[in-house]
Amino acid sequence: MSEAILKRYKVWDVPTRIFHWVNFTAVILLILVGALMLFKKDLGITSLDAKIAIKEIHVLIGYVFVINLMIRLLWGFIGNRFARWSSLLPGKDFAATLASYIASIKNGEPQQFLGHNPMGRLAVIALFLLLITQASTGLIRAGTDIYYPPFGSTFAAQVAAEGVDPVTIKPYDKTGTDAAKYKELKAFKHIYGEIHLYAAYALLALIFLHIFAVVRAELTEGGGLVSAMFSGKKVLSKEPEDLER
Ligand code: HEM
């Protein structure tokens, strides 16, 4: 009987692992606080102060999420081989690599990879796109709803009536605002709220798919994918397809 020889490879660098777990925690908290906002009436939260306070908490967690995401987007140009955009974004051989990986799963001999497998790469790209959507629409709504940075002062100046200092404009209070401009801002922010909400649903669905796919790959292909996000190391029984020679 032949025995598989396990080899340990260093894959995820420290910044990538820190990003992953900060992002994981922030996204879960943002979904929970987001759900609280969405179902506030059903939960009996009716006071304006409570509504604003929940939004402020969501936005403060949002800042941690955005800063972490921006660092990771930059790290894609600086980090080790597996953290780089060049190993994530589909290149010229991607279609063939994907087809070969799918065929290997079908014939019961799944290929192993040091970095993400080709399907994982697609999932991670979709996740990044949704995270960027959430970050940008969230920052806009933080500005339009509670006049928080980085766009809050611009929106406050936009709705302030003539001669009114924008600093005195308060969230959900029309005092000192120009009625027509206020209405205009309301219409503008509505679109971003809709995108923010539907992207949150899509993100939730993709998170479940991502977890399911990681667990499936871990059980059928091995590699210690989950522990690798803590230790940075993958343990493989075959020669990985993306080994640098
Ligand atoms: C993965 C990241 C995020 C998720 C999953 C998320 C989720 C949600 C959800 C479910 C809502 C409730 C939507 C509604 O009541 O219609 C919401 C609202 C909101 N979020 Fe986020 N959010 C994220 C990131 C951010 C960020 C980064 C910011 C800003 C820094 C932000 C700011 C806001 C604001 C101001 C609202 C209230 C306005 C609105 O209804 O659109 N969010 N978010």
**d(CA 81, ligand 1 centre) in Å:** 33
State the Cα–Cα distance between residues 215 and 209, nearest whole angstrom.
Answer: 10
> Which pLDDT band, with edges at 50, 70 and 90, does 222 fall under?
confident
Mean pLDDT of the chain: 94
Q: Is the pLDDT of residue 1 over 70?
A: no
Looking at 80-89, 134-143, 210-219, which range is the least confident one? 210-219
- List the Cα angle 23/118/24 in 5-degree steps: 10
What percent of the chain clears pLDDT 70, i.e. is strictly above it? 98
Q: Is the pLDDT of residue 200 over 90?
A: yes
Report the pLDDT value the prediction gives residue 11, as an integer from 0 to 100.
95
- Ligand 1 in contact with 200 (CB < 6 A)? yes
Looking at 127-131, 180-184, 216-220, which range is the least confident one? 216-220
- List the Cα angle 213/11/65 in 5-degree steps: 65
**d(CA 61, ligand 1 centre) in Å:** 10
Of all atoms in ligand 1, which is nearest to the CA of residue 189? 41
- Ligand 1 in contact with 144 (CB < 6 A)? no
> Which pLDDT band, with edges at 50, 70 and 90, does 33 fall under?
very high
Q: Where are the domains of the chain?
A: 8-84+114-236
Residue 8 has φ and ψ, to the nearest 5°, of: -100, 130
Architecture of domain 8-84+114-236: Up-down Bundle (1.20)
Q: Whose alpha carbon is nearest atom 32 of ligand 1?
A: 138
Report the pLDDT value the prediction gives residue 3, as an integer from 0 to 100.
62
Residue linked to tokens 């709504």: 141
Q: Select from 11, 8, 6, 18 the least CA-distant residue to 242.
A: 11
- Ligand 1 in contact with 58 (CB < 6 A)? yes
What number of H helices and E strands is found in the chain?
Answer: 8, 2
Which amino acid is located at 214 in the chain?
V
Taking residues 22-43, what's their average pLDDT? Answer: 97
Report the pLDDT value the prediction gives residue 220, as an integer from 0 to 100.
83
Looking at 23-32, 132-141, 236-245, which range is the least confident one? 236-245
Report the pLDDT value the prediction gives residue 245, as an integer from 0 to 100.
61
Taking residues 9-21, what's their average pLDDT? Answer: 96
Q: Please name the residues in contact with 53: beta carbons below 8 A apart, sequence gap of 6 or more.
A: none
**d(CA 234, ligand 1 centre) in Å:** 35
Report the pLDDT value the prediction gives residue 237, as an integer from 0 to 100.
87
Q: What would the pLDDT profile of 104-146 be if each residue is shown by its tens digit?
A: 999 999 999 999 999 999 999 999 999 999 999 999 999 999 9
Q: Is the pLDDT of residue 87 over 50?
A: yes
Q: What would the pLDDT profile of 143-171 be if each residue is shown by its tens digit?
A: 999 999 999 999 999 999 999 999 999 99
